[in-house]
Amino acid sequence: MPWLFVLPSLAGLGIFVLWPAVHAIWLSLHESAAFSSEIIWYGLGHYRDLLASPEYRASFFVTLWFVLLTVPASVLLALAVALLLDREPFFRSLLRTVFLLPVGVSPAMAGMLWVFLYNPTAGWLNFTLASLGMGQPEWLTDPAYALTAVAVATVWKEIGFNVIFFLAALAAVPTDIREAATLDGAKRFSMFWNITLPLISPTMFFVTTVSVIHAFESFGQVHVLTRGGPADATNVLVYSIYKDAFENFNTGFASAQSVVLFGIILIVTAAQFVIARRRVHYQ
């Protein structure tokens, strides 16, 4: 009887997660014959091509830089916002809704919003810079600014998700511990560093891990804002997979990239768990 209750979930997991993963591995070991529908065995050839591809290496480093731009900013800004909201409980419900709104917006709609903001001639951002007598960059067409522009849009989209978890963690911090520290003369920063931060460290670990995974899997905002350009400046790994699979129709090579990306995320997540053993404190 228990298996009957979990069978729908297991079926969904098998159909939509496990089978596509196994099929992707199978595709990465095969190649479509030219001008035919025949599938031929290619072995590890796609993986060798991947390691020898300068375009893939460039995409890998673009993704790493994108992760560094988005993850610390989204986590630290969300923590700062949550701390401010925790001090002002009267406005908490209203502002929590305001910060959560971007999470409910689809990546396509969020991308279109930032397209208007980044518009070089009619965008609000360049209008403000012009009012201050500053230059107006080509945010989405200049390789020097494009990745940063996409990262800013991503942080705006993800920060509300992190704020909700931090608010829940802060609400769970025992008030008697804070009151005892205040009576002992603890300063605000000392109380945060020695009491609040260790107590919310499991949430910090969870939010950081999820943010890293989301950053490696970023696609929607890149597709809407820059389509991997200009000059592949925003060609992150997932968008490279998309182009090889659905524009170049090289499914074997794209599947090999998917398998390698899964391995990268798995290694990074495992490293975070190893580090968290010394840094995270569970009550």
Q: How many residues does the chain have?
A: 283
What is the pTM (predicted TM-score) of this model? 0.89
Rounded Cα distance, 167 and 78, in Å: 9
Average pLDDT estimate for 115-135: 85
| pLDDT tens figures, 11-37 | 999 999 999 999 999 999 988 765 666
Rounded Cα distance, 53 and 129, in Å: 40
Sign of the alpha-carbon torsion through 118, 120, 124, 128: positive
Rounded Cα distance, 194 and 191, in Å: 5
| pLDDT tens figures, 70-91 | 999 999 999 998 888 877 666 6
The H or E element spanning position 30 is strand 30-32
Average pLDDT estimate for 85-110: 75
Of the candidates 58, 242, 54, the residue with the CA atom closest to the CA atom of residue 143: 58
Name all domains of the chain by residue range, CATH numbers in brackets.
1-43 (no CATH), 47-279 (1.10.3720.10)
Longest alpha-carbon distance in the chain: 79
Identify the pLDDT of residue 250: 87
| C-alpha distances in Å from residue 223, one per residue of 110, 220, 240 | 12, 5, 11
Structural tokens at position 276 = 């968290």
| pLDDT tens figures, 177-225 | 777 877 777 777 788 888 888 888 889 999 999 999 999 999 988 999 9
In the numeric block, the tokens 């060609």 are attached to 235
How do beta strands 39-41 and 30-32 pair? Answer: antiparallel
